Structure 1
């Protein structure tokens, strides 16, 4: 990885760590797969940090631009999956 995660300057250290964890889990969904539960747990925490849809879209678009990984598609696939399944993006 030779890019930076999109972060907000007003986030606490804990919020930064949790937001980075969500983006890392998006990467895992594309690169090796991740359990639906772990992915959705990190997404729910991300939504606590970034409750607004517009802010979420901006951050996820920034992440996709630098990484090539779509957070939106990963979340959509996770929501369509059942508990116990592994999320693996193509």
Structure 2
């Protein structure tokens, strides 16, 4: 096995691990925010529009964190900066 094969295998494994860890945080945050929004709706049903608007804005911000993780992992997978050190020349 060449060093290039090893780099591809290791970077793929690390990318999978990064996606797994990078999505856990936003998933927990989304669950907690939805739980809190439902709790607030149960306490004050008349404030439904305000709560739902704020909830959706917050969920969009939380989801952007998971998208940033995906973008960084795809950049590392398809344009790995470490490959330059292994290529001859």
What TM-score bracket applies, with the shorter chain setting the length? under 0.3
| Structure showing the higher strand proportion among its residues | 1
Structure of larger gyration radius: 2
Higher RCO structure, 1 or 2 (CA under 8 Å, sep 6+) = 2
TM-score between the two structures when normalised by the length of structure 1: 0.28
1 or 2, which has the higher helix percentage? Answer: 2
